[in-house]
Structure 1
């Protein structure tokens, strides 16, 4: 009698209680340690500062106060992490979330996208993003006064325009590719994102004002800090964009970490179509460091180190350039995965044996 083969699917990521428990316990231990041993941690930070360069290099009173506030901020952040993660790992909260999200997050029998591969190609791409982030940070802050590089119509500005428009085109094409699949919610998400990217690109060129040369309407010029036909340069718009950059990078990092850790445990096609790749982490970290608001200022240790070595943020183009790279990486990945699913949903592909579908087809 012929043996019957049974396809084994990995468990859902929402059932990974050990991951939530680990994050919660780490946050609890870190928070309690920082709050209970503030003076010890502060002494260690002071020693590192004094040892970083030769000669006397003590912290000023203002810097010392900022470091102490940062230690407290990170301590309370650890406790908040524990409060959120530990109930998910233990108790009825995990069961409720599992029942609620299983249709979206679980890996069902009809999932087609292959698991992510984190080999040489992924590593090289990660290093390339890291190099881009370092070069962008050093170049755009060092040559802040070079007009062809960082002015309103400079190279960095047009890089952002290109990223927005190319991203909108790629995401729109990805939405079109999903029209014959079962992923209508993702398709609508892509369409919304494509429209948002297009609007962002038009905002970058002031809706063509600097190209055509029309004058700014009087009503806009009174509330626009750059006297342009834009919305993001309103007095309140800058603050909104500041927060969007910071929290967007935080969500992107969390999504990339989720995808990386849950890759082998099981992710639905829908989540693979939405979650970003972890290779974007260096650029997202750079955005987060540059756009951390006042509430996180004293806990922004990378920023404090940059400022100490006179390499802190200057200007506004670095996070926008990093965001442009992230947009392109995300859009291209979405398009590749959507086209893969479109090929599998076509009538010709329906007659192809499943074992002939390899990971290379998703490239």
Structure 2
């Protein structure tokens, strides 16, 4: 599982010499973007199930947090396919088209909002990298708080988040104004990030379907991960 993001990103990079195929691969409504949507759709299904399960277990604070994340991921999923605009073909309102870089009914392509997307993805990616490593190093002191495990991705997902974080740091620190080929490679990195998110949600749903998390429960997550 840890190798899947590397394989996907290497495969996309290997198509760069074949420019037309590469640009088709990372273009709007093509293979990589639809894989992104499927990952977000999976997370959109897993997250409300996790939230409901947490409520049934009486973990209201964690359920509230997951509920907010659910709303955010639902919104992101809709944005990823322009809320179905390119599927159903409705026109963009004039006011929206005037401020939207792609002339679509989306928020993330509005001038001013676009600049916030890369930092937000960098923060999310760095969390997915750092949280598991910190938990592995010092998490023993919090193991009595079993629900805390729901906030920490398993170590096998670190590569998925690491690739996305590495790309964003490269763009920020090394090459802030790259050429079109490199800028479009962001689609492969977003796929890596969304895949990490979807698998994280899937792991947590499996964890919650094990005997209920209780204070003092030990190594429940480790058992789940070992089986997978």
TM range (shorter): 0.7 to 0.9
Residue among 194, 202, 206 paired with 1:332? 202
Distance 1:338 1:361 in 2: 10
Q: How does 1:108-119 map to 2 (within 5 A)?
A: none
Counterpart of 1:205?
A: 81
Q: How does 1:288-307 map to 2 (within 5 A)?
A: 288-292=165-169, 296-298=172-174
Question: What SS does structure 1 have at the residue aligned with 2:101?
Answer: coil
Counterpart of 1:271?
A: 148
Deviation at 1:292, TM superposition (A): 2.5
Q: How does 1:185-196 map to 2 (within 5 A)?
A: 185-196=61-72
Q: How does 1:313-328 map to 2 (within 5 A)?
A: 313-315=182-184, 316-328=186-198
* Structure 1 runs (4+) greater than 4 angstroms displaced: 139-144, 263-266, 357-363
Q: How does 1:7-46 map to 2 (within 5 A)?
A: none
Deviation at 1:263, TM superposition (A): 4.7
Q: How does 1:343-362 map to 2 (within 5 A)?
A: 360=223
The number of residues matched between the two structures is: 218
| Structure 2 CA distance for partners of 1:223 and 1:361, relative to 1, 3 Å | closer
What is the TM-score normalised by the length of structure 1? 0.53
Deviation at 1:135, TM superposition (A): 3.1
Distance 1:245 1:269 in 2: 27
Deviations 1:273-295 (A, max 9, x none): 1111222222222212222277x
Counterpart of 2:32?
A: 156
Could you tell me which runs of 5 or more consecutive residues in structure 1 were left unpaired when the two chains were aligned.
Answer: 1-124, 346-353
Deviations 1:32-81 (A, max 9, x none): xxxxxxxxxxxxxxxxxxxxxxxxxxxxxxxxxxxxxxxxxxxxxxxxxx
Distance 1:361 1:324 in 2: 21
Deviations 1:195-234 (A, max 9, x none): 1111111101111100110111000111000001000001
What is the TM-score normalised by the length of structure 2? 0.82
Residue among 206, 213, 226 paired with 2:102? 226
Q: Which has the higher contact order (CA 8 A, sep 6+)?
A: 2
Distance 1:246 1:231 in 2: 19
1:283 matched to 2:157? The reply is no
